[in-house]
Chain A
């Protein structure tokens, strides 16, 4: 196998056995990025010099006998995580030239482990999108079929990992933004329990829903990364005091007796038959390993999308007010007065989907509409939480499809926002409840596109989900499938 195909554990073994140095590993991947990124557009910024310097430092630490699990291993960050001295665009013209004076907590923690950051990954603008087409820096292409979307909003992360540009990447998930692109690109992605991963320095879309998480080619690699990402952060008031955990410890526990719930609502109208079949096969594999399968109900799940599209835009409309043309953002050149400064800078700086959500969010918070929309949506959110609470009294894990279908063609849903929003129909309830979920590959369509299976758990059951995903991956090979990429094209 080539370096770009290796897991984190294999790469670490290679570094420690001196098969290759961190600098050599970094150079190899940078070369691959330079060849493939023009085809995929996964990276917004490639930090070649910083990466080589960090790799040299990691080699020194390795030579000095340090043996951290992630020391010298490469990764890339979704461009929503602030990085000191390297621009952070959030996929927007608004922040095209923004350089933060600080690292996001997640970035700082991974850097402290000695990981080598290769660059910043493309994404839907301000994480608003399910296809990576709203990025100011152009869409990302799906490595399995470059005419298809990679999913979003963490589309750059998913494509980069799937294409072997990096072994692991960070992502964020507000309504499915880690799981949906993971599913569409055939990789494993974890949306942790809300409060596990610090949001400090992670540009806010919808604060009560946003959660950072790892994206990798296996559950084990996700666990390795999450071990460092998950930690209480005093700079984030919503960070949980017990956020940290060892997600590696229980990975191998057998699934004998595991109670698995399959929600009827996830297998109804609108689900692609190939996806349904692959997920059913995945459930059968869990059963084969000793899990007990039962049907469950999540009766309020059908309301999840509409609830989300009230609450998320409401929070976003306020979160994005700081991008006002006054300080570090894009500022229009055509301004006469203060009102112009706001209107023109924001009109020019934000793309259509972001503007749409700001308008929706502003509307639902307005006097006279708040009760009918925002307050009502919060009430439905409680009902959705209650659905899960009842379900987890009966089962340990809930399993279903991550998405209603495989990757769709670029441009296919651009004129129909609601069709686009329905791409997240199975992922959104998890964010509204704040529970953890994992998407992992469980099949390929006839046309060779990946299919994702979603595991959902109770609060702080992230380790159990990783355990189930890992056991599944021990017995199956879907996570080892790789897209065919024309490396010679460049």
Chain B
């Protein structure tokens, strides 16, 4: 996949003469119950080395046995990105020494990965679409962790994570701006969670990203790249690439050349720094793992995974546009995550889709964001929010009252209809009652009435405010408006 994009001006005053070329390598931890080559649990946070066995401890004579659940999850991703699924793939050993790598090699896939070329279509903020090529995705095992804190002059090794299944998803160098890289990563993040193949927890490292960044003159061959590691948030990805663009531009514009190397992003200093150069890089001595047979996918198995696939984000977005009459943008926001989309669909069931969307995207996401809560842990059920929206729609309460009620039930809970009744929040829609209130307001403000009639149309707001105040917000604003206009325009 190669196509030309216009040169992009990036933040930090990048001169228009350079084009940034970005490719991402994402490690998605597959959410299988057990590890990829043994039966140990994969749950996070257990006491060190309690989720281990002779296989993942690399005891002598212990042998790996492939967990087919991990294969099914790789197939699911392959199908979702329209990729070639290799009917025959091979596990290989990547050899290097590190204390948290107990076998002295990582079982991965090298020459023949399970998932071949695919694509991911990314929506940019300006509404444009970008197709990013995916080179491959392969299965491999995670390493353990070295613990340097809490030990003096020593390091601890926790092998609970050793052998956790990973899917490494490698993109083509198709992205031409930090924003494109972020959009791609977000899309992929949403996708793996939709597919229920990865929990997407970036903080715990279940979804990790390395970025390959280089600069070139538009149309020129790719420049030398630097690989940036340790990008565990969307924001860090963006900032690290922005930093890297400036760093490389300065080198190139001062006549220097870029060294191919691995760099580490330091979020505290907002900079990347060199970890190791190409010369210092390990020779991994990949070769096919003789302990594992080639992985053969049969059609029945692929078909079974295909049947079990959920509705994917793009399809869901298009359905939301058609079914709920939403804008593509709103539908995109609501379908960015499967949990949010499901939440929205419960709220929108039987009520106006656009109104439901406004409440979910506005008040609900705002409140969650403010409280620092994920939608997965939302304290307010979708069914309850739907009742609230219904009460607006059937004019039981006003929008203003609804906002107050939302705040309350979001934080404290409670039954909406009971609250409406017990507090007397029911909207006043009785024409006679509103009319007498309107008449009283007009009578009490003769000078404003005169000014209005003299042409100060803006004073309408003043009268509406008075009416809402008098009704403690319960008067139906549409009716108030209509009656006020009727009375004010009426001949004296």
Contact = CB atoms under 8 A, between A and B. Distances in A.
Chains A and B belong together in one complex: yes
Contacts of B104: 318, 320-322, 324
A237 B292 contact: yes
Interface stretch (A20-28, A99-107, A144-152): A99-107
Contact of A200 (B58, B61, B66, B105): B61
Contacts of B57: 327
A318 B60 contact: no
Given A237-B292, A318-B93, A322-B102, A365 B61 contact: no
A235 B290 contact: no
Contact of A365 (B58, B65, B95, B157): B95
Contacts of B54: 100-102
A141 interface: no
A372 interface: no
Contacts, number: 98
Contacts of B287: 314-315, 318, 365, 370, 374
Interface in B464-490: none
B60 A366 contact: no
A393 interface: no
Interface string B43-78: 000000000001001111111111000000000000
Contact of A366 (B59, B103, B105, B283): B283
Nearest to A202: B61
Interface in B250-298: 283, 285-287, 290-293
B99 interface: yes
Interface stretch (A203-211, A436-444, A465-473): A203-211
B59 A328 contact: yes
Contacts of B66: 237
B285 A104 contact: no
B65 A321 contact: no
Nearest to A209: B290
A235 B93 CA distance: 19
Contacts of B285: 317-318, 362, 365-367, 370
B65 A234 contact: yes
A328 to B, nearest CB: 7
B329 interface: no
A235 B63 contact: yes
Nearest to B37: A237
Interface size class of A (residues with CB under 8 A): 35 or more
Interface of A is mostly: loop
Nearest to B292: A237
Interface in A115-156: none
A45 interface: no
Contacts of A207: 290-291
Contact of A101 (B59, B283, B293): B59
Interface string A331-375: 000000010001000000000000000000010011100100010
A314 B290 CA distance: 11
Interface in A161-207: 199-204, 206-207
Given A322-B103, A324-B104, A342 B63 contact: no
Contacts of B105: 318, 321
Contacts of B99: 324, 326, 338
Interface of B is mostly: loop
Contacts of A315: 287, 290
A444 B61 CA distance: 37
Nearest to A101: B54
A238 interface: yes
Nearest to A82: B61
B97 interface: yes
Interface in B289-317: 290-293
A13 B64 CA distance: 41
Contact of B64 (A104, A237, A367): A237
A237 to B, nearest CB: 5
B62 A321 contact: no
Contacts of A235: 63, 65
Contacts of A81: 61
Contacts of A328: 59
A322 B63 contact: no
Contacts of B103: 321-322
A345 to B, nearest CB: 11
B63 A88 contact: no
A201 B293 contact: no
A58 interface: no
13 contacts: A90-B60, A98-B60, A100-B59, A101-B59, A102-B54, A203-B61, A237-B293, A322-B102, A322-B104, A323-B60, A326-B99, A365-B95, A365-B287
Interface of B: 54, 57-66, 93, 95, 97, 99, 102-105, 157, 283, 285-287, 290-293
Interface of A: 81-82, 88, 90, 95, 98, 100-102, 104, 199-204, 206-208, 234-238, 314-315, 317-318, 320-324, 326-328, 338, 342, 362, 365-367, 370, 374
Given A320-B104, A322-B102, A327-B57, 12 more contacts: A90-B60, A100-B61, A199-B63, A200-B62, A202-B61, A203-B61, A204-B61, A236-B63, A318-B95, A321-B95, A362-B285, A365-B287
